[in-house]
Amino acid sequence: MITTIVFDCYGTLIDTGKGSMTAVEQILGSRQSDMDPKPFYETWKRNHHELCRSGIFQAESDIFRIGLAQTYEAFNIQGDPELDVRYMLNTLGKRAVFPEVPAVLAELSTRFRLAVGSNSDHEPLLADLSRNGLDIGPIFSSESLRVYKPSVEFFAKILESLDCRPSEVVYVGDAQIEDVKGPSALGIRSVWINRKNDKRLHSIPEPLSECSDFKELLRTSLDF
């Protein structure tokens, strides 16, 4: 029996919007570079994911900085990662909730215990949830757990803290590897919030449900 729903935050509850791309544009502008920001952003994002999945824990603020240094090197741009990473860090804790999320969470909270488990440093995660009026608890960040999704350890620590068995929890998120494949390795069922209508990768197990928006979770929850 499902008793608890754990939510990813960014891309699931909170819209990241264009904050990251704006930060990249500011970074390139500060270095007088006329490079197209899209490949720079995509490379930085890929470096970020690889660092998170390396198995060596570092705060996400440090991963942003290290990944930026790697991206500068990849494109032969002379920059100061220690200084320039501020443009990205300044976007954190200032993002907006998807409009439909509060009402859906209010409905689900009458039937399930709700929690958040997200790849993020703890302070900006709390800031984003608080400023958007999302009163969900407990809240688990990669910083508080000292491990990143999709590591099994991330989900195991959440289960231990919640005193739940895998069969009692559903994980809800928008990322195929972090939010579907990750929890499935521990026997936790998942709901994939697929707002971009992406195709499921061959290596990703079938989720309990696939939702095109957060509202569909209410219909899916009836089958939990």
pLDDT of 132-159, one tens digit each? 999 898 999 999 999 999 999 999 999 9
Share of the chain above pLDDT 70, in %: 98
Average of per-residue pLDDT across 193-200: 95
Average of per-residue pLDDT across 19-34: 95
CA distances from 113 to 38, 103, 221 (A): 39, 15, 13
Q: What b-and-e string marks burial along 69-87, b requiring 16 or more CB atoms within 10 Å of the CB?
A: bbbbeeeebebebeebbeb
Contact of 220 with 108, CB cutoff 8 Å: no
Indicate the pTM of the whole model. Answer: 0.94
Structure tokens at 158: 């959440």
Identity at 75, one-letter amino acid code: F
**Rounded CA gap, 132 and 102, in Å?**
9
Q: What is the mean pLDDT of the chain?
A: 95
**Whether pLDDT at 219 is above 90:** no
**Whether pLDDT at 49 is above 70:** yes
Structure tokens at 114: 């709700």
Structure tokens at 66: 């290290």
**Rounded CA gap, 147 and 126, in Å?**
18
